[in-house]
């Protein structure tokens, strides 16, 4: 599984670029590689929304979560999760993490 994902979005397009860990690369080196790619894409395409997303590590919120939003610990942003009628659960519209995932529940107090 890729450690980092770069989400590149415009009004009608969405592309996800996965950054994998190579041979003998540390987690810090993989992060630096992903961040370098992120910065280059952001500079090259200033009209696109470009975000660096963790695929393995969940991050705690740094500020209060907005009303009627769900904090995504992998995108590190408050998002309006989308409901999927086929699966019966909500998910982040950017990274597709479910509202049933442990850290999403933990940071948003979604325990039932």
Q: Show me where the domains of the chain are located.
A: 4-54, 70-108
Confidence of residue 1 (pLDDT cuts 50, 70, 90): low
| Six-digit token string for 85 | 């009628």
- Say what the pTM is: 0.84
Mean pLDDT of all residues in 37-45: 95
The secondary structure element, H or E, covering residue 24 is none
As separate numbers, helices (DSSP H) first and strands (DSSP E) second, the chain gives 2, 7
Cα–Cα distances in angstroms (integers) from residue 74 to residues 8, 47, 62, 88, in the given order: 15, 23, 13, 21
């Amino acid at each position: 599984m890729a450690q980092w994902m770069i989400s590149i979005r415009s009004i009608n397009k969405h592309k996800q670029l996965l950054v994998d860990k190579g041979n003998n690369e540390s987690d810090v080196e993989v992060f630096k590689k992903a961040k370098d790619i992120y910065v280059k894409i952001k500079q090259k395409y200033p009209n696109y929304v470009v975000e660096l997303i963790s695929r393995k590590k969940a991050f705690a919120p740094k500020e209060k979560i907005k009303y009627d939003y769900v904090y995504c610990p992998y995108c590190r942003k408050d998002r309006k999760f989308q409901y999927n009628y086929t699966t019966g659960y909500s998910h982040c519209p950017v990274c597709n993490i479910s509202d049933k995932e442990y850290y999403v529940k933990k940071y948003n107090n979604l325990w039932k």
